[in-house]
Structure 1
Amino acid sequence: MKPIIAEQGEAVAERSTSVRWALASLSFSMLLPSLGTSIANVGLPALARAFAGSFQDAQWIVLAYLLAITTLIVSVGRLGDMFGRRRLLLIGILLFTLASVLCALAPALWLITAARAVQGLGAAIMMALSMAFVGETVPKAKTGSAMGLLGTMSAIGTALGPSLGGVLLAGFGWPAIFLVNVPLGAVTFALAYRFLPADARIGKTQQSGFDMAGTVLLAATLSAYALAMTIGRGSFGPLNLALLAATVCGVGLFVFVEARTASPLIRLAAFRNRRLSASLAMNALVSTVMMATLVVAPFYLSRALGLGEAAVGAVMSIGPVISILGGIPAGRLVDRLDAPLVIAAGLATMVTGATALAALPGIAGYIAAVAILTPGYQLFQAANNTAVMADVAPGQRGVISGALNLSRNLGLITGASVMGAIFTRASAAPDIATAGAEAVTSGMRITFAVAAALITVALSIAARACRRGTPKNSDGR
């Protein structure tokens, strides 16, 4: 009897170790895409100087990456569901790593931009499939903790990018901000190859009929929206309006095609699940507000509060540090309590934080407000991700995870453009970079009053979704 018990104990311990290493590979798969975004932003001035390009030319290094992620993240999630998530995740890690090498070796700015688009494809695969893998590697009772860990790793990547990029630029030049991804990518690939569970046998019916028409339509529609939100730096002209009109037409055409396709990219019936639709809408609204803090804060801290560059960087790092510290505890709280309750608590906390940003004066007021807003965001993110992914059918995990990441990316794009435009208009200054302290403070207050209203809308969506309930399955049946 004792040898049997000992063998069982060893098996449990071995499985526990394997789960931890599998989570480590998924954590790196979440860290690398966020690091790839934030570290490149720091290098834009150096790249513009190195290739004698304009700042607008250099901006496409970031834009190409974000566009690739935004337009492809749902499609790659669907491909993972059809052909195997482990196989596709390994391909994504390899693409991201090789594209990083190409970025570092590229002799021209346009080649860097093209390589960044390929890197964005790899990042889209990693982001879409990392959360989808949680259901296959972690017991359901620990899903919240796992989601909190992935959110923490994403925050670490975002926080680490500016500081690490600055050190690498000063010590080794701009190629180093891309080459740093190579050893990290190699470690991620090795861990994923060794510890992620093998793909289950997929039947021919699941492999057949990839929705190419829907994929192209969705990519074109999302590209039109992303460009409408980014071209003109928040100033909406005729081209922006035309792109928005194309987006609306694209959405209608996409719905028409998906309703008549035998193997649709997105099963529209899934959105009859009110909880899923509500979660995606809330995710977009919350991401819009969080991006507003990144857009508005540098101008407020420097122009209104008179802080130097180093002090601005230090104060802005407070939010990411809180995210790093709060992600795992937030996930554990989700495991102990119902996810809808934690979603409501997180949103209520965010309303308080956004209101504080609009009302509290001075540096102490800003820090206090961020210290309220950020934990609320971590609670919402861990609970919302868990609520969306907990009961998704195995064959839909990739596409639903992709839709969740897509809603976040659309919120980030909207926050950068629309909330930035609100800040500029509310400041009533011809150039926000040279605006006076009073104008910037006024813009800050109005922007975050709007932000508080957006989170209040998200809170009302959460309350309505809880009252109505939700169907049992993610496909709406």
Structure 2
Amino acid sequence: MSHDGAEFSFKKIAIPAFGPSILFGVGEGAILPVIALSARDLGASVAVAALVVTLIGVGSLISNIPASIVTDRYGERWSIVGAAVLSMLAMLLCVFAPNLWVYGLGVLLIGAASAVFNLARQKYLTEAVPLKYRARALSTLGGVMRIGIFIGPFIGALAINFFHLAGAYWVGVVAVIIAGLIALSMPDLVHTAAGDGALASPTLRSTLLDHRKVFLSIGIGVLLVGAVRASRQAVLPLWAEGLGLDPSTTSLIYGLSGAIDMLVFYPAGKLMDRRGRAWVAVPSMVLMGISLLLMPLTSGAFGLLLVALLIGFGNGIGSGVVMTLGADYSPARGRAQFLGIWRFLADLGAFSGPALLSGITAILSLSVGIAATGLIGLGAAAVLWYWIPRTPKISA
């Protein structure tokens, strides 16, 4: 494949590269709203049910490093197929779980499968797409996943009407099976490692040491981005509840924010390709930070809607930016190991952000917790602005 982009066409890789992503999104989106309800049905308290919901994130967090080993050994295509099989089995485990412990294991494995899938698809596009189109490809990758997560609950709700809560998991099972079948059509990539082929393959330890400056600089920014993005999903419904808004109004506001989020990923990717990564990464975090600082000042549905739309726009333009930066910094040799560490940092932020929000809210108040999250967003913007190179304009 020509890496100058002269012979590249998105049409050639659109279905095998993006098809599994939207289907994985549908599967995840279908089950997310019912995880807590399923846990409650198995006897969990409200607090324990909330803990079970976090197991997807925990599964992804602890599986990023093993996912890099799997992808490096078996390649991108078979890793994606394997992730689809694991996700299918995990969802079936959730359907037939006899108790809460088995159900929790199923949820944890869904997160683990997601880690393998996400790393493999990112590595595949990093190597399959020429540099001049990289941001557009990875932004689209992030965007189609969000589209799948957005429409998944609607399909799941329809299935629940016929099969109760199990219907959502059956939607997920069907979605990931089709995703795995599509992934089988992915063309294998010819990997050409830089340097002497006789050199030993990089290890996780050597990758961490060789690229420690990147992980301790822009990697910190990626961690902060993960914290802000994960926290924003919790603060909107919590603040809406504090304002006394009914669930239907809250859902509408949340849905409109998500719709804006999905509409802007491709233009943002194109801007990153043409002007540089900082032109999108920094404004994304600035907008989200300011939005979160404004949220505690809202007193009604209309004000919250405006803030939610701004959050959706800020998050939407940042679609794929973490993957793009990871692809930019990843070496040809040891790319899987590098991306495993990179995704671990992002997931660590996603896990830590809501925990920090919860702690501050418990000690002080929700408004202070939301404002603190906004400050983290501005801090992320500052870190990214300082460390992302001002890349020259790339003609496209």
8 A Cα contact 2:30 2:154, kept in partner: no
Bigger-Rg structure (1/2) = 1
Paired position in structure 2 for 1:176? 167
Q: Distance in 2 between matches of 1:411 and 1:449?
A: 17
**1:271 has 2:212 as partner:** yes
Paired position in structure 2 for 1:332? 270
Structure 2 counterpart of 1:197, one-letter code:
D
Structure 2 counterpart of 1:459, one-letter code:
A
**1:290 has 2:229 as partner:** yes
- 1:300 corresponds to which of 220, 239, 254: 239
Structure 2 counterpart of 1:78, one-letter code:
I
8 A Cα contact 1:152 1:324, kept in partner: yes
8 A Cα contact 1:389 1:400, kept in partner: no
- 1:21 corresponds to which of 2, 15, 19: 15
Please give the per-residue CA displacement for 1:3-55, whole angstroms capped at 9, x wherever unaligned: xxxxxxxxx69x654322232245237626xx537723434224422x34434
The secondary structure found in structure 2 opposite 1:107 is: coil
Paired position in structure 2 for 1:120? 111
Paired position in structure 2 for 1:390? 328
The secondary structure found in structure 1 opposite 2:98 is: coil
Change (3 A) 1:105 1:461: same
Paired position in structure 2 for 1:453? 375
Q: Distance in 2 between matches of 1:58 and 1:391?
A: 39
Change (3 A) 1:393 1:210: closer
Structure 2 counterpart of 1:143, one-letter code:
R
Paired position in structure 2 for 1:101? 92
The secondary structure found in structure 2 opposite 1:194 is: coil
Paired position in structure 1 for 2:4? none
> TM-score, normalization: structure 2?
0.85
Comparing 280-289 with 376-385, greater Cα deviation is found at 376-385
Q: Distance in 2 between matches of 1:192 and 1:118?
A: 20
Paired position in structure 1 for 2:45? 54
Q: Could you tell me the percent identity over the aligned residues?
A: 18
> TM-score, normalization: structure 1?
0.72
Q: Which runs of 5+ in 1 are unaligned?
A: 1-11, 212-257, 259-263, 428-442, 471-477
Paired position in structure 2 for 1:214? none
**1:361 has 2:311 as partner:** no
Superposed CA RMSD:
3.0
Q: Which runs of 5+ in 2 are unaligned?
A: 1-6, 392-396
**1:84 has 2:75 as partner:** yes
Paired position in structure 1 for 2:288? 350
Q: Distance in 2 between matches of 1:133 and 1:105?
A: 34
Q: Distance in 2 between matches of 1:369 and 1:204?
A: 55
- 1:406 corresponds to which of 326, 332, 344: 344
8 A Cα contact 1:42 1:165, kept in partner: no
Deviation at 1:337, TM superposition (A): 1.4
Change (3 A) 1:158 1:130: same
Paired residues in the alignment total 383
8 A Cα contact 1:291 1:416, kept in partner: yes
Deviation at 1:313, TM superposition (A): 1.3
Q: Distance in 2 between matches of 1:156 and 1:78?
A: 29
Q: Distance in 2 between matches of 1:351 and 1:66?
A: 23
Structure 2 counterpart of 1:294, one-letter code:
Q
Change (3 A) 1:99 1:452: closer
8 A Cα contact 2:64 2:115, kept in partner: yes
Q: Distance in 2 between matches of 1:461 and 1:421?
A: 24
Q: Distance in 2 between matches of 1:126 and 1:402?
A: 12
Deviation at 1:332, TM superposition (A): 1.8
